[in-house]
Amino acid sequence: NAGVTQTPKFRVLKTGQSMTLLCAQDMNHEYMYWYRQDPGMGLRLIHYSVGEGTTAKGEVPDGYNVSRLKKQNFLLGLESAAPSQTSVYFCASNTPRGNYGYTFGSGTRLTVV
């Protein structure tokens, strides 16, 4: 099925550890985004990309890095995890052609202890 795939689905990290979340989409979308969702809140934008090789900061970029080496993949990295980064992370993609909603992945639940 076409869509956005996130890996892993769950992860527990110790403070100071690093990890990479992978997002892959097969819809040939130019735009990709990483959001985080904390309990009882809406989603907040971490970083986004308008195309291969480009990235930009969103609302809450501190502590995260991203890379878009291939059009279909968007990686989110945590270099030194902190408990404040405990959250559910969602990747999404979109096309600049027309007015369409985002396609979201199913999320990665990250706990930093």
Partner 1 sequence: SQQGEEDPQALSIQEGENATMNCSYKTSINNLQWYRQNSGRGLVHLILIRSNEREKHSGRLRVTLDTSKKSSSLLITASRAADTASYFCATASGSARQLTFGSGTQLTVLP
Interacting residues toward partner 1 by CB under 8 A: 31, 33, 35, 40-45, 48-50, 56, 58-59, 90, 92, 94, 96, 99-107
On whether the CB atoms of residues 15 and 82 are closer than 8 A, the answer is yes
- Closest to partner 1 by CB, 54 or 80: 54
CA-to-CA dists, residue 72 to 16, 31, 107, angstroms: 29, 10, 17
Of 72, 68, 74, the closest CA to residue 21 belongs to 74
Shortest distance in whole angstroms from residue 102 CB to partner 1? 6
Shortest distance in whole angstroms from residue 42 CB to partner 1? 3
Shortest distance in whole angstroms from residue 12 CB to partner 1? 17
- Closest to partner 1 by CB, 2 or 42: 42
- Closest to partner 1 by CB, 42 or 69: 42
HEC string of 34-72?
EEEECCCCCEEEEEEECCCCCCEECCCCCCEEEECCCCC
